[in-house]
Structure 1
Amino acid sequence: MANKDDYLTYYREFFENFAQTVNPNDQLPVRLAGYKLLGTEVVGGIIDWTTQYLSQKKCPPHLFAPLIKIVIEEMRKACKKHPPICGFSPDDNAYEPLKLMQSVMAKTNEVCLRYLDNSMLCSLPSPNDSPVFYPTSTCAFKNCKRKMEDRHVVIHDLNTMLNIQEASPSSYYAVFDGHAGVDAAAYSAAHLHQFLAESHLFTNNPKQALYEAFCKTDAHFTDKCKVEHLSSGTTAVVALLRPKEKTLYVAWTGDSQALLASQGKLMQLVNPHKPNRPDEKDRIERNGGCVLLFGTWRVNGQLAVSRAIGWY
């Protein structure tokens, strides 16, 4: 993709293949969480579902952010203009996930099929215009669990996706190690970056914005657990990269790890939250809990991590 014609050919091949393989009658084209979405959570759901869907369709990496941005903008208008069609229930003051997801998938199909028109295709940004993009590899193993309870998120251009013009270009990477169910990891994977980017601190104080996004994710999910009778938790490790500032921010809860590798050397970026850490043990006991040894150190004899997002 060295010149304009190369990348437009690449884009055109994707959209032509998309048109040939799209199935508008598929009722469940992506993995769906079981909880209802409040109005403040819709954007996170849109990003989650469109990312899954475009990944299945082998979308060029540089197109994710601009396409999802358009889907978000048009779904916001659709939810405002025709809320029942998008799954909104006045009784719950929330969106039914299946109906909302199907509306999002229909909108994604509509948006992608527009670019079969060459004049529309030429309006898409060149890969050279992308402010941040780094080659990324991901891999996940379920092991012996009945369901995959873990999630990961890769967003190369968070600013474009969420139409943030004031902040320095940002890439976002996250891993969520779910336990006792998938809901906490699925919720965090869909909404933590949304809450981060929506924070008024995101532009000038990303460190505090990350802290508040973790707290907001935990608070909203635990509230949802009480209303919808859910019960699960997840560790989290998040990296926010701002290359123009030459700064990498890392935030975490629980014992998931992050390492920085450079010239054959490794640097551990995370100090895991485990019950056997003296400061964690003191904090737990001050709050009325206890740390007991049952093969490994556990909070109240149960949890092997001392912090997590979720409800137990």
Structure 2
Amino acid sequence: MSRTLTEAHLVALAIADRFESLPPKVNRMELADAIEILQCALNLTSTEVIYFRLACRNTPEAFWRDGHEPVFGWSRLRVARTMKLDERTISRIETSLVTKGLVVHRDGPTMRRHGGTRWYAGKGVSLAPAAARFDELRARARAAIDEDRRWEEARVSIYSGKSFLDGVLKRDDILPEVAETVMALMRDIPVRMQARMSLDELEPLAARVNNLVARLTELFGVPSMSSACDIHVRPETEPDSPNQRAAGDAGEIALVVETAADAGIPVAVARKVVGDRGLERTRRALSGLEARLRQTNAPVRSPVAYFQWLIANDSHSASRTRQSC
């Protein structure tokens, strides 16, 4: 059965025939990682990626150096058993990788090895075409990772800014022209981020949001870290920075949640109470709960229920207790 010789196949054959064109030393696992990262860009299936990684891992390290050819010499039967597939499927995977210019079959002539001092019957699948593109594939993979990072940073920046803008719109002293500017930008922010949105769309939008947030921060002040909708002007005499304030709030919340957990209150319940009722009210309720738990003559059957009762009644004294819980 004759194989169709595509342009990619011919290029792969030419690369495989020029052993000297390979980089001095190819990191085989970095190559496998790059192929996996570029799976969609190279139009590869998941099984093709798994096959390529298996081939890289099981090709001798010495074959990846300059002047040698990395040939994966496993039989299709062995590969099929390892991948839990049949031999026909493995054959299709190899043919697909050949047509995509990443490997070539080495079923025929012998090939020179080790500077011409030895000969090796190169039967199997040669990874030389992909190895010759090692630097290119690694650079493309790094660029793809960097693009994903920038995409996520832009997404987070947009929706963090959106929370700030929501708070600005709820102010009573906002000017109509400022509100119109904010609303115009809010209309451009998608309600739900779509994966198909490109970085070229997101980064300009993130820059617009950040620019408007910076201008509004100068006008209204830094947003409170406790609520995205609570906008206030920070006094000039206040020494701590926004980052210090955020770290302080986070530390206090973590301490309260830890105290609640020691008293038998689930973390989720404690965090919800802090968010709904505030830190001070939560602390007072915890003090009342701890005082009640120390009383041996009146055991608390349900710490969570008693804690919620204290929150609902806003206990200001640890001595105020419920008769039955």
Shorter chain as normaliser: what TM range? under 0.3
TM-score (norm 2): 0.23
More helix by share: 2
TM-score (norm 1): 0.24
